Amino acid sequence: MAFRSLGTVAAATKSLRIGLIPADGIGREVIPAARRVLEALGSDLPKLEFHDLLAGFDLFTRTGTALPSETIHVLKEECDAALFGAVSSPSRKVAGYSSPIVALRKELDLYANIRPVVAVSPNPEGKPSVDLVVVRENTECLYVKQETMTQTDSGREARATRLITERASRRIGRMAFELALARPRKKVTIIHKSNVLSVTDGLFRETVRAVPTLPEISGRFDSVTIAEQIVDSAVYRLFREPEIYDVMVAPNLYGDILSDAAAALVGSLGLVPSVNAGDSFVMGEPVHGSAPDIEGQRIANPLAAIRSAALMLRHLKYEDAANRIDTAVDHVIRDGRVLTPDLGGKSKTDEVVEAVLRRL
């Protein structure tokens, strides 16, 4: 896979401590699958220590707490990295509830959500038609969740605050340029809507464009090409000509939408991994949601969670182990005999995991 991370944790520890947070729905099926693959890597990794941790909407309905303080404490004090499954955030307002994954990103300062989208099968020219990374700012935009509802003479009026700061835009821009520098095409496309949102998106666009000119960088990104695209036309071009994109950097909401849309180009959300990364911690997270419609049927696609584990390892500098996982997953997909229903197959979750393990 063409993704390469910054690598913030040295791969020289005697043990690797990983927090496991299955959370809701099929997260409880795919995170154990990822653990099995990690355990199968043997000497490519140090001794593995797993911490089973709680979070999620189901937990909230039982206890009134979506993200226990104990989970945060263990992640900060006892873990080197984590894997998060999926969360069932309701579409209606529920008093006292807020998304635990959003809270974790803030608590651990995981300011970048990095989502590589790669087509496994090559096009007729022998090159992947889709090979891009969406770098999504993880802490701001509308996801600050500052909403109000007021009653007016003409009915209810809802408002939401959108936050874009220079600091957050600068560091997500730096992350995007670092990723692009490690990739063959070395291109960053800034996604925005500053033709309408000239203040907020304008600040994001201007700040990211200025990253290569920062005094402390001094020519580091001279080889990286900078482009930009209005978000609505970016979605159109993503479907028409995905090969034009390399690294796409976007505010929180746009990045969320673009990466889910890009997943359609490679067959399924069940294939797309991500990591939530900061300067001192990384948490793998499959891009798919909790999928309550298939929960408990044992047909959830585990490959996105397994690939997220590989991204987590790559960020921690365990390149050989990550490459082994990616190669095994690519083989299973190309082989086509053991696939879950979202990819047109008839296999169960465990059967796909076994196929990956055999390839390992």
Active site residues: 143, 193, 232, 256, 260
State whether residue 49 is helix, strand or coil: strand
Name residue 51's amino acid: H
Burial class (CB in 10 A: 0-12, 13-18, 19+), 263: buried
Q: Where are the beta strands (DSSP E) in 147-212?
A: 147-152, 155-160, 187-192
Cβ partners under 8 Å of residue 335, min gap 6:
355
Nearest to 84 by CA among 30, 36, 21: 21
> Which residues have CB under 8 Å from 344's CB, separation 6+?
none
Q: In sequence order, what are the residues at sequence separation of 6 or more whose Cβ sits closer than 8 angstroms to the Cβ of residue 92?
A: none
Rg of the chain over CA atoms, in angstroms?
20
Residue 117 three-state SS: strand
Nearest residue to 114 (alpha-carbon basis) of 37, 178, 204, 41: 178
* DSSP symbol at 25: T
